[in-house]
Amino acid sequence: AGIAAFQRGDFAIALDYWNRLGQVIAEDHPNRRLLADYMAQARNELSAGGAQVAATGDGIPAAADAAIEVTVDLAPSLVGQLTAGDTLFVFARAAQGPRMPLAIVRQSASTFPVTVILDDSQAMTPSLRLSGFSEVTVGARISRSGNATPQPGDLQGSLSGVLIGADRQVRVVVSEEVEVAGTAPQAASAPPPPTAPSATIPAALEVAVTLDPALGDRVAPGDTLFIFARAAQGPRMPLAIVRRQAGELPLTVTLDDSQAMAPNFRLSAFPEVSVGARISKSGNATPQPGDLQGSVSGIRVGQDRRVELTISEAL
């Protein structure tokens, strides 16, 4: 009943059901941790919609306790495979649930070992944050192409069973080569990928973004500009995303499958999307009060090749 309510978008009903279930399920029940994750996702969706949600004592850590210090090292046998310009992605995914990264860092793969911090400031969407889950898998991947989607020849490593709020420091060793595209570390019980449309249908979208002149005095050239596409119906994870600077406006970018955050969630896998743009003062991928945004819905992938949108409102 709770899952059905969540899938309908009735997050308050789902949370109420799971709260009552949490009061009767045994502390040592094997599904208690999964129940806590479901409750956290429902609260995050309600918060993202502007609702005030009280904590329920279900064991989910506060955002301040959710940071993970990740030290990434490279197996000695792979040192000779590094090349100039390689990109390192370090990320965390829910142990059970969506494959979208809850936090991700991208930097040069020039030196090892390297230490980064993963936290809620690197979330791709407000409803999927590190602090919203009790257990994650932490991974690292060295990309030849700089593509967020794993490619053959990339190097990777992962560590599962990382407990948020308890495991503050972890070590991941990049120790294997990706042999087949899409074999990056996956969350347990990951949902099956959506059915993609025919490969003959081009999925690229040319997006022209302008700024409403009335908002011009609220934008600094160094502000961060995010341009993205999301499924019209389905996960809120961006199917493609580009990060630029607001000083480049007006500008035109192309969104396509090369910018996917996960192999199963690509622009070509959905027939209809919404395209949006957001100017962030903080550079945070999660929307913040004072950010400026604009969007266009009902974009048909493979038919609507060009989209024009104006950033015209403030959060």
For residue 113, the one-letter residue type is P
Mean pLDDT on 188-203: 43
Q: Domain residue spans in the chain?
A: 2-48, 63-177, 205-314
Q: What is the DSSP string of 189-204?
A: TPPPPPPPPPTTS---
Cα 1 versus chain centre, distance: 27
Mean pLDDT on 44-49: 62
Mean pLDDT of the chain: 79
Token reading at 269: 């896998």
Quickly name the fold that domain 63-177 has: Immunoglobulin-like (2.60.40)
Cβ-based neighbours of 55, under 8 Å, separated by 6 or more: none
pLDDT of residue 201: 44
List C-alpha distances in Å: 29 to 24, 35, 187: 10, 10, 21
pLDDT of residue 153: 86
Quickly name the fold that domain 205-314 has: Immunoglobulin-like (2.60.40)
pLDDT of residue 25: 60
Question: Any bridge partners for residue 117, and if so which?
Answer: 69
pLDDT of 56 > 70? The answer is no
pLDDT of 217 > 50? The answer is yes
Contact indicator for 193, 263 with CB cutoff of 8 Å: yes
Residue 123's pLDDT band, with cuts at 50, 70 and 90, is confident
pLDDT of residue 144: 85
- Give 3-21 as a 3 state SS string: HHHHHHCCHHHHHHHHHHH
DSSP helix/strand/coil, 259: helix
pLDDT in tens, 132-169: 788 899 999 999 888 777 888 899 999 999 998 888 89
pLDDT in tens, 225-257: 989 998 888 667 788 888 889 999 999 999 988
Q: Which candidate, 220, 265, 221, places its Cα nearest to that of 240?
A: 265
- Do 63-177 and 205-314 come out as alike in CATH topology? yes
pLDDT of 189 > 60? The answer is no
pLDDT of residue 41: 72
Cβ-based neighbours of 124, under 8 Å, separated by 6 or more: 100, 101, 104, 237, 238, 241, 261, 285, 286
pLDDT of 180 > 70? The answer is no
pLDDT of residue 184: 41
Q: Is omega for the bond preceding 113 within 30 degrees of 0, making it cis?
A: yes
Region of 182 on the Ramachandran plot (φ > 0 left; ψ -120 to 50 alpha; else beta): left
